[in-house]
Structure 1
Amino acid sequence: MRNPAKRCTNTVMSKTDLPQTDILCIGSVLWDIIGRTDRSMRVGSDVPGRIVRVPGGVAMNIAMALARFGLTPDLLTAIGRDPAGEELIDAAAVRGIGTAHVYRSEDLPTDAYMAVEGANGLIAAIADAHSLEAAGDKILRPLRDGRLGSAEAPYSGRIALDGNLTTQLLREIAVSPFFAEADLRVAPASPGKAERLLPLLNHPRATLYVNLEEATILGHASYASSSEAAQALIGKGAHRVLVTDGGKDATMARDGLTLTHTPPEVLVARVTGAGDTFMAAHIAAEVNGASEEEALINALDAAALYVSGDTPL
């Protein structure tokens, strides 16, 4: 992070004194262990392929994509002081991602994620984000103690927030004065955790990034398309939503405007991280002054490039 401000116990910092990053990425930062094959798979399949270990987690994936798009993200997360954690901190630094405000635990191990992907998509995955959940609101201290924000001068920049946080912590964030002036960009970690975002559905400054399955969970209804889902979530009080549906149409909706576009057709080489790339590309486009329609198109193009395997990790 650039020029972090030191905490002062006798002086209340004004909003102009507080350091501002391009965007804070709050949530899971871990190691992805991913097995990939170019063959279709089913339960019990045993096929040749490649196994990679790369930095991952929703917050990290978004941060890496934002850095590729020229922004300077900072992480708020929990990372252990074990060898895996030290490697992860180094990996973030190499990619231009700030870690000055990361909560480093002596007794919590660095989290991990394991997935198997075939030509027919994600076969199975296990996310071990127990350390992030155990750390709880400790990861948010910089937004309260004056380093990034305070009750008197809440952080007013962009925040990418992921659904790997506990339901209780997300409920607190939804009504917290420390997040009252932030431009919140929210993504579920997976369909299984989408319902955790319900407290943020009606947040007046939140943009939700979900796929069609996640929109169905949030809306407690079945939707035939991204457009139907996006308009339904706006009807339920969402400020703005973007709904994707794999290679089918994607939709951005807010009160009074609905935009739908189809992503480019590509051969699928990987799927883990595609949604995070879409979200990061959309944010970066808006930061650089793109219109809402241009930002949606840019995000779809970037996600298509990513799943084709042509974007570096």
Structure 2
Amino acid sequence: MAADILCIGSVLWDIIGRSPVNMQLGADVPGRITRLPGGVAMNIAMTLTRFGLRPAVLSAIGRDPAGDELVNAAALMGIDCDCLYRSDDLPTDRYMAVEAANGLIAAIADAHSLEAAGDKILRPLADGRLGSAAEPWSGPVALDGNLTEALIAEIARSPLFAAADLRVAPASPGKAERLIPLLGHPRVTFYVNLEEAGIICQRRFDDAVAAAEGMLARGAKRVLVTDGGRAAACGATGLPGPAVLSLAPPAVMVTRVTGAGDTFMAAHVVAERQGADRATALEQAIAAAARYVSGDIAS
């Protein structure tokens, strides 16, 4: 069965420690530690399967026990792993985070194998399995900023992506600058939070509307900006209606934060795929993210 969407970027194990109490620097508190399939590309793919789509992931996974477990877990969820790059000498990547009642305390992303694999993960787009330079992939692509800046710059000008609907997320504020080569690309939609928008635009923004306006001024054609529990914004050029729309999320009890942005992005892609207009797609994405952070959507 052909894939509905490609998810390109980090596919790894999430190791998350969660505590129901507030934490400060140096705190030592009781809680739960879980290991789940994760990474931006994987989180998006998992959300897409819940909406009935069949995503394929392009990433680098080691030929180690952790990699075998990860591929098996993804396949059981209905994610197409046939085009993954499996490395004999690179270990499977990992992400570790600590979350508490007062939000994300700290996180470390070990995506060195993905970075080392480079453009090897894109081979299926060139060798005919998913497309070629002559007949490029023409469907949606979810792309994350865990790829190197050099590879993202290559994607920005590559004929392999000339017909794709590119949906791009930084993965973290520390990797937001990697997306700068994609500014001005006519087929890119950016999904960023307030901090990431500020890094890309090299200025501070007070809210998501200002950030969306700033991203458009920097050359983005379409952008969605989230700001935690405050209003999110959707900006676009060349479309009917106002350039920037804004909507506040519902108030919910936050039980987790890792993966919320990926859920927002996946829900927005699905809404647009189903024909929703800009306002409705934004509303549905916000609602899905709110359900996720409240714990109503399973990991």
TM bracket (short chain): over 0.9
Establish whether residue 307 from structure 1 lines up as the match of residue 279 from structure 2: no
Consecutive unaligned residues of structure 2, counting only runs of 5 or more, are: none
Instruction: Show the counterpart of 1:15.
Output: none
Contact 2:5/2:56 (8 A) holds in 1: yes
- Output the aligned Cα RMSD: 0.7
Instruction: Show the counterpart of 1:69.
Output: 51
Establish whether residue 169 from structure 1 lines up as the match of residue 151 from structure 2: yes
CA separation in 1, counterparts of 2:65 and 2:6? 25
Contact 1:160/1:186 (8 A) holds in 2: yes
CA separation in 2, counterparts of 1:82 and 1:210? 33
Establish whether residue 279 from structure 1 lines up as the match of residue 261 from structure 2: no
Instruction: Show the counterpart of 1:112.
Output: 94
1:38-187 → structure 2 map (5 Å cutoff) = 38-187=20-169
Secondary structure of the equivalent of 2:230?
coil
Establish whether residue 264 from structure 1 lines up as the match of residue 250 from structure 2: yes
Consecutive unaligned residues of structure 1, counting only runs of 5 or more, are: 3-19
1:169-208 → structure 2 map (5 Å cutoff) = 169-208=151-190
Secondary structure of the equivalent of 2:74?
helix
CA separation in 2, counterparts of 1:136 and 1:270? 31
The offset of 1:257, in angstroms, is: 2.4
Deviations 1:257-301 (A, max 9, x none): 211000010000000000000000000111111111111000000
Secondary structure of the equivalent of 1:35?
strand
Q: Which amino acid aligns with 1:233?
A: M
CA separation in 2, counterparts of 1:291 and 1:70? 20
TM-score (norm 2): 0.97
CA separation in 2, counterparts of 1:239 and 1:181? 16
**Which structure 1 residue ranges, 4+ long, deviate > 4 Å from structure 2?**
none
Q: Which amino acid aligns with 1:111?
A: D
Instruction: Show the counterpart of 1:6.
Output: none
Q: Which amino acid aligns with 1:69?
A: F
The offset of 1:103, in angstroms, is: 0.3
Instruction: Show the counterpart of 1:253.
Output: 235
TM-score (norm 1): 0.93
Q: Which amino acid aligns with 2:68?
A: E
Contact 1:76/1:139 (8 A) holds in 2: yes
Contact 1:21/1:157 (8 A) holds in 2: no
Secondary structure of the equivalent of 2:160?
helix
Pick which of 141-150 and 250-259 moved more.
250-259
* Identity among equivalent pairs (%): 66
Secondary structure of the equivalent of 2:104?
strand
Q: Which amino acid aligns with 2:253?
A: L
Q: Which amino acid aligns with 1:307?
A: V
CA separation in 1, counterparts of 2:183 and 2:243? 18
Q: Which amino acid aligns with 1:108?
A: L
CA separation in 1, counterparts of 2:79 and 2:230? 32
Contact 1:154/1:179 (8 A) holds in 2: yes
CA separation in 1, counterparts of 2:243 and 2:79? 34
Q: Which amino acid aligns with 1:292?
A: R
Q: Which amino acid aligns with 1:114?
A: M
CA separation in 2, counterparts of 1:270 and 1:295? 23
Q: Which amino acid aligns with 2:178?
A: R
Contact 1:39/1:118 (8 A) holds in 2: yes
Establish whether residue 217 from structure 1 lines up as the match of residue 190 from structure 2: no
Deviations 1:64-118 (A, max 9, x none): 0111111110000001110100100111111110000000111111000100001
